[in-house]
Amino acid sequence: MKLALTGISIAHSKSPQLFAAAYPHAPNGSYILLPAPSAEEAIRLFRANGLQGMNVTMPFKNDIVPFTDVQSDEVKAIGAANTIVNRQGQLYAYNTDIHGVVDSFLQRGVTLNHNKALVLGAGGAGQAAAYALSKAGAQVLWANRTAAKVEALAERYKVKPLSFPEAVRELEECPVIVNTLPAGADFLAALHFHPRQAVLDADYSGAPLYRQATAAGADYISGRSWLLWQAVPAFVLFTGRPPDVEAMKYEIEGRK
């Protein structure tokens, strides 16, 4: 089985190590990095290399969807995919980021149903987070630098759109926060947390909110957790069998 990860700036991704941990005895298995300048080129390389499956990271999660043949209900709803499976030449698109978000909180004992949740950013990861939390029963507030973008999507996702200044004011009342903005985003410096909050970063390498959240006593959840819990269902889609989750956890948590 030949798998890959595509996106931009993927040289330091942990996905190859996760695959090796998930299936340590997989015969003839390989997982390669497939950098590309565009989603269209990523799909061309996918086919040219005879791959069976591919994980998709930023900035291709939205752009890659039109180049697939069949989309899951989640992909149709979100407009973003992070998992591509080749089935007899037909490319199937899935979004397992929704599991990465929800399971990251549930594994920490965080209640989502009827809780207020604030999502920051409206790219592919932010859209998956807003959709996933809404489906899990959370009251989702969604903020983006371009407020018009979340306003246009609010009805589809059943969320309340906010501007960044409004998000700062609402933050204290939200026990669940998901940040999909990159490290260094100016807005993040204005956020002030408290111990009754759980904060999940999408970016596990930059960890944009780590210092602020931990200094305030909040429960900080690294993007490594998101990476792990989106990878588990992705590998089931690739192989048809469950991976070694404990080995994957060790790769993520034990090898810092």
Three-class DSSP category at 165: helix
Nearest residue to 93 via CA among 107, 110, 105, 76: 76
My answer on whether 89 and 47 are in the same domain is: yes
DSSP state of 176: E
Residue 94's Cα: distance from chain center in Å?
12
My answer on whether 208 and 232 are in the same domain is: no
- Residue 25: per-residue pLDDT: 57
Q: Tell me the residue range of the domain where 51 lies.
A: 2-95+225-254
Phi-psi region of 225 (alpha: psi -120 to 50; beta: other; left: phi over 0): alpha
My answer on whether 154 and 209 are in the same domain is: yes
- Residue 254: per-residue pLDDT: 66
How many domains, in total, are found in the chain?
2
Q: What is the pTM of this model?
A: 0.90
Q: Is the dihedral of CA 7, 5, 57, 69 positive or negative?
A: positive
Sheet holding 90-94, edge to edge: 30-35, 2-7, 53-56, 83-87, 90-94, 70-71
My answer on whether 120 and 174 are in the same domain is: yes
My answer on whether 109 and 91 are in the same domain is: no
Sheet holding 198-201, edge to edge: 160-162, 139-143, 116-120, 176-179, 198-201, 219-221
My answer on whether 216 and 234 are in the same domain is: no
- Residue 256: per-residue pLDDT: 40
**Vertex 170 angle, CA 167 and 175, to 5°:** 110
Along the 256 residues of the chain, how does pLDDT read in single tens digits? 899 999 998 888 888 888 888 876 555 568 899 999 999 999 999 999 999 999 999 889 999 999 999 999 999 999 999 999 999 999 999 999 999 999 999 999 999 999 999 999 998 889 999 999 999 999 999 999 888 889 998 888 899 999 999 999 999 999 999 999 988 888 999 999 999 999 999 988 889 999 999 999 999 999 999 999 999 999 999 989 889 999 999 888 764 4
What is the CATH classification number for the domain harbouring 144?
Answer: 3.40.50.720
Q: Say how far apart CA 168 and CA 163 lie, in whole Å.
A: 9
CB 190 within 8 A of CB 168: yes
Helices and strands (DSSP H and E) totals, the chain: 10, 12
What is the CATH classification number for the domain harbouring 76?
Answer: 3.40.50.10860
Active centre residues (catalytic): 61
Alpha helix locations (H) across the chain?
15-22, 39-48, 73-78, 97-106, 124-135, 147-157, 164-170, 210-215, 223-239, 245-249
Token reading at 134: 């809404």
My answer on whether 208 and 109 are in the same domain is: yes
My answer on whether 134 and 197 are in the same domain is: yes
My answer on whether 160 and 89 are in the same domain is: no
My answer on whether 76 and 145 are in the same domain is: no
My answer on whether 21 and 88 are in the same domain is: yes
My answer on whether 185 and 103 are in the same domain is: yes
